[in-house]
Amino acid sequence: MALLGCIADDFTGATDLAATLVRSGMRTVQLIGVPGADDAAPEADAIVVALKSRTTPPAAAVADSRAALGWLRRAGCTQFFFKYCSTFDSTEQGNIGPVADALLADLGAGFALACPAFPTNRRTVYQGHLFVGGALLNESGMEKHPLTPMTDANLVRVLSRQTDGTVGLVAFETVARGAGAIRSAMTALAEQGRRYAIVDAVTDAHLRAIGAAAAAHPLITGGSGVAIGLADNFRAAGTLPERADPGALPRVTGAAAVLAGSCSRATLLQIATARAHLPVLELDPLATPDAAALTAQATAWLADAPHDVPIVIAASATPEKVAELQRRLGRDAAGMLVEHALADIAVALLARGVRRLVVAGGETSGAVVTRLGVRSLRIGAEIDPGVPWTYAEGSGPALMLALKSGNFGGADFFTRAFTAAEDAP
Ligand code: ADP
C-alpha cells in the first residue's frame, strides 16, 4: 500500500515531485486528474495526483484537491503532501491557502509547514522571504507573470492573505540548528494557534532537516524540494523497504519519436542538434495556420520516414514567428491550434507503432497526454534533471513517455533520451 499521497497543482510540477521521490527511493506513480472511485490504487510507495488547480477559481481548486485527498486516503496513504510551485505561484485569493485550509480540515489537523524552497533551482527562503537566484521574488520577473503575478516576497504576508488562519515563521537561525530545533519551533507555533509556518531553507541539508522534523505531520505543503527528506522518515519507521531500483519500469519496445511544441530556448537548441543525427520535420504554423493541414503534412512525411531510428516532428519556432502567429490569431488560439495538431500527430505516431515518445513542452504534454487517454505514469529514471522516462497506461497501448518542460534538458536530449531507455536494466 502507498505511504505518501501527494496532490500537485499542475502537471509538470507533479512529475518534478514524482522524480524527486523516486530519487529518494520510493516507487512512484503519477495519476492524471482525480481517479474514479472504482479505480484501483497502483502498486507504489508514493502516489502523485496531478491536478490543474493552480489558476482555476479557488472553489474548483478546493473541490478537486479534496476529492484527490479522499481518494488517496482510501488508497491507504498515511501522510499527505500538497505540492505547489517553488515560486509560490498564487493570487491574493489563492489557491495555496484555500487548498491547504481544506486539506487540513479534512484531515482533522490544525497545522502544516509551508516551504517552497528548491535550492538546486536557486529558489531559497530566508527570513520568510522567497528569493529566485539573487533577486527577491517580486523583483525576479515573477511580478509580471500573466496569471499569478507575485508582487510580495514576504511569504508570511502572502499566505496570510489567502487563509483565515494565522501564519508564523521558523527562521534560518532555528533551521540551521537541525531537525530537533525545527520540530520544537513548529510545535510551539502550533500551540500558539498558528495554522501555518513558513520555514526558511537555503540548502538541501535544511530541506532534509525540515523533512525529518515533519515526520509526524499529517500534511506537508511545499515545492518538490522539501520532499527530499520524507523517504528517510518512512525507512526509519520501518514502513519503506530499501528499494534496489525504485525507478524500474516494464520494458516497452517499438518505434521512437519526438514531438516538440515548446518554443523555449533549450528546445530550439535540442531540435537544431537533432537535425544532424535524426530525420526532422519542422512544421510551419505561420505558413499553414490550420491544424488539419499541419497534421496532413506530418502524416504524408511519416509515410516515407524510417522506422528504425527516432524521428522528430516539431512545430517550435523562433520568438518572432510565434509572436507573429499570436498577433494574427490571438495568443490562446495560436497555442490551441498547434497543440491540437500535435495531439492529432501523436495519435498518428501511435498508429504507426511508436511506443517510445518524447514530448517537449508543458502545455503540449498536457494536450498529448489528454488526447492519448493516458491516466497514469509510473516514474522511471531521469534522462536529465526533472525529466524521467515514464511508463504510461490508459485507454491505448502501454507507452514509454518522457514529458519535458520546455526549458529542461541538455542540447543532445533527443538522441540521449533513447539511448538512456535502451541502457536501462
Ligand atoms: P514550454 O514548456 O516551453 O512553455 P509549452 O508546450 O507549455 O512549452 O508552450 C508552448 C506553446 O506554444 C504551446 O501552446 C504551443 O502550442 C505553442 N506553439 C508551438 N509552436 C508554435 C508556433 N510555431 N507558433 C505559435 N505557437 C506555437
Q: pLDDT digit string (tens) for 397-407?
A: 999 999 998 88
274: helix, coil or strand?
helix
Mean pLDDT, the chain, rounded, equals: 95
CA terminus-to-terminus distance, the chain: 25
* Residue 271 falls inside a structural domain: yes
* Residue 33 falls inside a structural domain: yes
pLDDT band at 422 (very low <50, low <70, confident <90, very high): low
* Residue 121 falls inside a structural domain: yes
Question: Are 225 and 277 found together in one domain?
Answer: no
129: helix, coil or strand?
strand
Which segments of 94-224 are extended strands (E)? 112-115, 123-126, 129-132, 135-136, 167-170, 196-199, 219-222
Question: Are 232 and 352 found together in one domain?
Answer: no
| Residue bearing the bigger pLDDT, 424 or 174 | 174
C-alpha of residue 110 to centroid of ligand 1, in Å: 42
Question: Are 232 and 266 found together in one domain?
Answer: no
* Residue 367 falls inside a structural domain: yes
Residue nearest to atom 24 of ligand 1 (CA): 322
Distance (Å, whole) CA 304 – CA 21: 42
Question: Are 52 and 141 found together in one domain?
Answer: yes
Residue nearest to atom 22 of ligand 1 (CA): 322
Q: pLDDT digit string (tens) for 332-390?
A: 899 999 999 999 999 999 999 999 999 999 889 999 999 999 999 999 999 998 899 99
- Determine the structural domain holding residue 386 and report its residue range: 255-423
* Residue 242 falls inside a structural domain: no
DSSP assignment of 400-413: EEEEE-TT-S-TTH
Global pTM value: 0.92
Residue nearest to atom 15 of ligand 1 (CA): 335
For the segment 213-231, the average pLDDT, to the nearest whole number, is 97
In the structure grid, which three cell numbers stand for residue 60, read together?
Answer: 474548483
Distance (Å, whole) CA 388 – CA 48: 14
Q: pLDDT digit string (tens) for 268-319?
A: 999 999 999 999 999 999 999 999 999 999 999 999 999 999 999 999 999 9
Question: Are 158 and 274 found together in one domain?
Answer: no
Instruction: Identify the CATH number of the domain in which residue 384 sits.
Output: 3.40.980.20
Report the chain's C-alpha Rg in angstroms.
22
In the structure grid, which three cell numbers stand for residue 414, read together?
Answer: 533527443
Out of 168, 202, 236, pick the residue that ends a domain.
236
Question: Are 142 and 273 found together in one domain?
Answer: no
149: helix, coil or strand?
coil
* Residue 250 falls inside a structural domain: no
C-alpha of residue 235 to centroid of ligand 1, in Å: 42
Q: Compute φ and ψ for 31, nearest 5 degrees.
A: -105, 140
Distance (Å, whole) CA 47 – CA 18: 8
Distance (Å, whole) CA 48 – CA 414: 26
* Residue 49 falls inside a structural domain: yes
Q: pLDDT digit string (tens) for 112-147?
A: 999 999 999 899 999 999 999 999 999 998 998 878
Question: Are 73 and 198 found together in one domain?
Answer: yes
Out of 206, 236, 266, pick the residue that ends a domain.
236
DSSP assignment of 259-291: EE---SHHHHHHHHHHHTTS-EEE--TTT---H
* Residue 217 falls inside a structural domain: yes
Q: Name all residues whose Cβ lies below 6 A of ligand 1.
A: 261-264, 285, 315-317, 321-322, 325, 334-335, 338-339, 361-364, 405-406
Q: Which atom of ligand 1 is nearest to the CA of 12?
A: 2
pLDDT band at 425 (very low <50, low <70, confident <90, very high): very low
Instruction: Identify the CATH number of the domain in which residue 214 sits.
Output: 3.40.50.10840
Residue nearest to atom 25 of ligand 1 (CA): 322
C-alpha of residue 316 to centroid of ligand 1, in Å: 7
List beta partners, residue 125: 130, 201
Please tell me the number of Cα atoms within 13 Å of 301 on its side-chain side.
17
Query: What pLDDT does residue 423 have?
Result: 54
Give the burial class of 395: count Cβ atoms within 10 A of its Cβ; 0-12 exposed, 13-18 middle, 19 or more buried: exposed
Domain count, the chain: 2
Question: Are 222 and 325 found together in one domain?
Answer: no
Q: Is 76 left (phi over 0), alpha (psi -120 to 50) or beta?
A: left
